[in-house]
Amino acid sequence: MKKIIASIAVSILCITLTCCIGGYAQVSAQNRKIPIYCVDRTDNYVAISFDAAWGADKTRQIMDVCESYNVKATFFLVGFWIDKYPEMVKEIDARGFEIGTHSETHPQMSKLSAEKCRQELASSCQKIYELTGKMPKLFRPPFGDYNNQLIEIATELGLYTIQWSVDSLDWKGLSAKQIAERVQKSKSGDIILCHNNSDHIVEALPLIFESLKLKNLQFCPIGEIIYKDNYYIDNTGKQILNIKNDNI
């Protein structure tokens, strides 16, 4: 009898814990902050971005191809990359491309203290400002890694935290055709992830631009495709206007 009572007690405890854990998970999910992965738009605009952390050999060629297709892209720059290629940073800005921060040292920022996260963002933003005279408004977390603390600090610093909805996987050594095939699925409001020094990105860009042109898609910088206020982000990372109007 004692064993039966003990067994029942354990079962009740397990059920209680499960309910509590389930309730905690639900509350946590509701309070979880999410970056902008894509935007709820129907005007056929998409944004293409290039993360720059290592190397710069292809950066000027990327800009050349973008300009030949009248595409203004967004470059996310890491602080140590800025230190190594200050003239390239100036050229990116001078040629009319948008610049955001990709942190100072490219760490896994969800594992950093609040103070260190703030330093990573403030330092890299200051370097961009000193070279371009413009304070960045966009931030892409290294490795796509984030938590509530990081997003809150970025917001405090006036930064929109940006992820992506279309991953070119160009860093994996894919051929130009393979990269383009991955990006061809883009639709209105998507944010495309590329890298400035991947093996075949320069050859892939014309294929990307031509294929998306056939879908009647146009390109604009991320800062122009996102909404700046009066929005919410759903559980998939889609940024949606609270009230749609013709003035946005």
Same domain, 8 and 81: no
Q: The pTM is what?
A: 0.86
> Phi and psi dihedrals of 239, rounded to 5?
-85, 125
H runs (alpha helix) in 106-194: 114-132, 148-156, 176-183
Same domain, 16 and 48: no
Can you say whether residue 105 is alpha, beta or left, with left for phi > 0 and alpha for psi between -120 and 50 degrees? Answer: alpha
Round to whole Å and give the CA distance between 76 and 181: 23
15's CB contacts (< 8 A; 6+ apart) are: none
pLDDT tens digits for the chain (248 residues)?
444 444 434 343 443 433 333 333 333 456 899 999 999 999 999 999 999 999 999 999 999 999 999 999 999 999 999 999 999 999 999 999 999 999 999 999 999 999 999 999 999 999 999 999 999 999 999 999 999 999 999 999 999 999 999 999 999 999 999 999 999 999 999 999 999 999 999 999 999 999 999 999 999 999 999 999 999 999 999 999 997 554 44
Same domain, 26 and 110: no
Residue 248 lies in a domain: no
First and final C-alpha spacing in the chain: 71
Q: With contact defined as beta carbons under 8 Å apart, do 87 and 224 qualify?
A: no
Residue 45 lies in a domain: yes
Same domain, 116 and 75: yes
Same domain, 27 and 109: no
Domain span at 27: 1-31
Closest by CA to 136, choosing from 106, 92, 167, is 92
CATH number at residue 231: 3.20.20.370
CB neighbours of residue 240 within 10 Å = 14
Residue 246 lies in a domain: no
Same domain, 59 and 4: no
Q: With contact defined as beta carbons under 8 Å apart, do 232 and 33 qualify?
A: no
Active site residues: 51, 195
Residue 237 lies in a domain: yes
Same domain, 139 and 237: yes
